Amino acid sequence: MKSMYHVSASPHIRSSVTTATIMRDVAIALIPASLLGVYQFGFNAFLVLVTSIVTCVLAEYLYKKLMKKPGLPYESSAIVTGLLLGMNLPSTVPLWIPIIGGVFAIIIVKELYGGLGQNFMNPALAARCFLLISFAGRMTAFGVSSFNEAQSSVTKNLYTFLNGAGSLDGISSATPLAQIKTMEAAASVADVVSLKDMFLGFTGGVIGETSILALLIGAAYLVFRKVISLRIPLIYIGSFVVFLLLFGGHGFDLYYIAAEVCGGGLILGAFFMATDYVTSPITKTGQVIFGVLLGLLTVLFRVFGNNAEGVSFAIIFCNLLVPLLDKYTVPVAFGKGGRKNGK
């Protein structure tokens, strides 16, 4: 008898979108902001990004090998985690910071809980918060535009590795939000920060958060490729603005609100991290509540907390609520509870 044809249950066709293409799209979308970060903060920023990515990929590879789990990092999700982690670090950190962060993100946050799809927090953000708590000083020394002149000797590199570029150059600057937070009561926000600089990205901050323009280009790409929907980002930012008007203490000061929206990684967080599939609600109602809570928490952390930034903590806190949100927001099935007509 002739060989038999394949038999499987329908459907027999699949869309061309795979986990790998989604991760590739996210990585592509992060490139503009990363490039700008490197341009702005110099070679150290590049080193931080690369170290972070390599650490994440290696950590995943070695863990899977060690645990005899099938498959290589085929989905390239580790690259995205690594890139996001790097973008959430100041360019001035010593290189062991992204290494610790990468291992923490991949092993502790992701793999120990079952790997891809099972982590309950965004790995990159969880790692960032872990680093922020552990190494507060190093994690808040932000470099400002500096192409370090040909510091290429081995000793110097070693020094950079151990202590970070910040301590070498002694250049560091506060982020715009910190400036707003610490400014004198009489001053106006416009005197302290320049919106134009914030939009283009010429301010202090972590590598990937500063240029709103570059981030929005990346976000537009993700929307165009239908990788993310705008539901969470827009509700997040909208709720953030509303609560800022209520609690911000600056009244209806548009310049202040714009500065707060553009600063502190809100755009990076809203479009790239709050939309992380694994750690955001799957239902529409859940996503709406998620977005509103993110806005509220970010405002509370920023206005009443010690830090000028609050996006990371808001997101990882809301990540924890996701299973609950999903459980109680299952949509009503089509035609359910429908009235029988014609009887």
Least CB distance from residue 52 to other proteins, whole Å?
A: 21
17 lies in the site for other proteins, by CB under 8 A: yes
Among 74, 113, 147, 328, binds other proteins (CB under 8 A): 74
Q: By C-beta, is 30 or 232 nearer to other proteins?
A: 232
Return the half-sphere exposure (C-beta side, CA atoms, 13 A cut-off) of residue 238: 11
13 lies in the site for other proteins, by CB under 8 A: yes
The label of the residue with tokens 């394949």 reads 6
Whether the CA torsion 171, 176, 178, 180 is positive or negative: it is: positive
Tell me the C-alpha distance between 110 and 319, whole Å: 13
Among 112, 117, 234, 246, binds other proteins (CB under 8 A): 117
Among 66, 67, 185, 333, binds other proteins (CB under 8 A): 333
328 lies in the site for other proteins, by CB under 8 A: no
Tell me the C-alpha distance between 50 and 64, whole Å: 21
Tokens of 328: 């109680």
Least CB distance from residue 224 to other proteins, whole Å?
A: 16
Least CB distance from residue 298 to other proteins, whole Å?
A: 23
Q: Are 38 and 148 in contact (CB under 8 A)?
A: no
Binding mask 279-318 for other proteins (x = CB under 8 A): -x-xx-----------------------------------
Among 169, 197, 253, 326, binds other proteins (CB under 8 A): 326
Tell me the C-alpha distance between 343 and 333, whole Å: 22
Q: By C-beta, is 18 or 188 nearer to other proteins?
A: 18
Tell me the C-alpha distance between 286 and 160, whole Å: 45
What single string gives the DSSP state of each residue in 38-57?
A: HHHH-HHHHHHHHHHHHHHH
246 lies in the site for other proteins, by CB under 8 A: no
Among 72, 112, 118, 133, binds other proteins (CB under 8 A): 118
Tell me the C-alpha distance between 127 and 130, whole Å: 5
Tokens of 293: 């809570």
The torsion region of residue 109 among left (phi > 0), alpha (psi -120 to 50) and beta comes to alpha
68 lies in the site for other proteins, by CB under 8 A: no
Q: What does the binding site for other proteins look like in residue numbers (CB under 8 A)?
A: 4-15, 17-22, 71, 74-75, 77, 115-118, 277-278, 280, 282-283, 326, 330-336, 338, 340-343
